[in-house]
Amino acid sequence: MVAETRVAAIELGGTKSIAILAEGNTVVDQVSVPTTTPEETLPHLRDQLKSWHAEKPFSAIGIASFGPVQLRRQAENFGSILKTPKPFWTNADVAGELTSPFDCPWAIDTDVNGAALAEYRWGAGQGCTSICYITIGTGVGGGMVINGQPVHGFMHPEVGHVRTRRSPNDAFAGACPFHGDCIEGLVSGPALAARFGRPMSEVNDADPLWMLVANDIAELVSLLLLTTSAERVLFGGGVSTSRPFLLPLVQKRAHELLAGYLPIPQTEDLFPIVRQAGLGSLAGPLGAVALAHSALGI
């Protein structure tokens, strides 16, 4: 059934947004538009969905959005953006604007929960019951899937804004406007530029400051393994993919921080657990597709 299912999906990003048409988990068409204001961006995406639906109806819509998003179904503003630093988007009714013309099931979640679900179904999380997906780029986001379901509660996971132990010799104050030295304030792209004091394109892989960055990410990994008991912690995003030397440093340091408490005897035993995500740049679009499938119960 999945292979034949025609669905539409939206990946709503901070810089650009993508309308996606898929057959099963194969993207057959996609259209990208800049993310400007809700009044400009959402109608463009909705019109693209209407065009595809007129050609041949799709069965469901999945929406993977930047956050924070109201995901409590009983809330009056379910499917809307909550307070966000992105201009004009606070209270934007994303789900309502995108789904109102269509009589079909739909689902909305954060972009990182969507990516985690796609990795769980089709990527490096296959065969697991629990995974965490961490993206390190302009910000730091974290999605969690436990027993096949993205994690929700009062809100959704905001992994990027947790605080972890700092290296004793690290004097960087952090760059998050809310929390200073939360993980996003320490290792996101803008935070790294502030930490290194120059554009990242000018920073050599051998710079000793990378050891402090690796320690911060390893602290996050050990926290996630101890609190969520995830079978996989998967990394995506521009920083992760453009600096592949970081992952071995993180694996080694995370093993040291766990100090033998978990049954992971050697650093090498952590390699299958803490690893790069498997879907690459498709994690976001396929995350929205996976949400459409979940709306259909498949």
CB-CB neighbours of 127 under 10 Å: 8
User: To the nearest whole percent, how much of the chain has pLDDT over 90?
Assistant: 91
> What tens digit of pLDDT does each residue of 39-88 get?
999 999 999 999 999 999 999 999 999 989 999 999 999 999 999 888 99
pLDDT at site 119: 98
Helix (H, G, I), strand (E, B) or coil at 142: strand
2-114+281-295 has which fold? Nucleotidyltransferase; domain 5 (3.30.420)
DSSP β-bridge partners for residue 150: 145
pLDDT at site 3: 61
pLDDT at site 227: 95
> What tens digit of pLDDT does each residue of 196-235 get?
999 999 999 999 999 999 999 999 999 999 999 999 999 9
CA 187 to chain centre: 15
Q: Indicate where the chain has its CATH 3.30.420.40 domain(s).
A: 2-114+281-295, 125-278
Find the DSSP H helices in the chain: 38-55, 94-99, 111-122, 183-187, 189-196, 209-228, 238-242, 246-258, 283-295
∠ CA(96), CA(102), CA(103), 5° rounding?
A: 110
Place of tokens 């499917």: 79
Q: Describe the crossing of helices 189-196 and 209-228 by its angle, rounded to 10 degrees.
A: 140
Q: Write the CB contacts of 37 (distance below 8 Å, at least 6 apart in sequence).
A: 87, 88, 89
CATH superfamily of domain region 125-278? ATPase, nucleotide binding domain (3.30.420.40)
- pTM of this prediction? 0.94
Average pLDDT over residues 134-154: 92
State the DSSP string of 215-275. HHHHHHHHHHHHHH--SEEEEESHHHHH-TTHHHHHHHHHHHHHTT-SS--SGGGGTTTEE
Average pLDDT over residues 25-48: 97
Count Cα atoms within 13 angstroms, Cβ side, for 193. Answer: 9
> What tens digit of pLDDT does each residue of 98-129 get?
999 999 999 999 999 999 999 999 999 999 99
∠ CA(113), CA(59), CA(133), 5° rounding?
A: 10
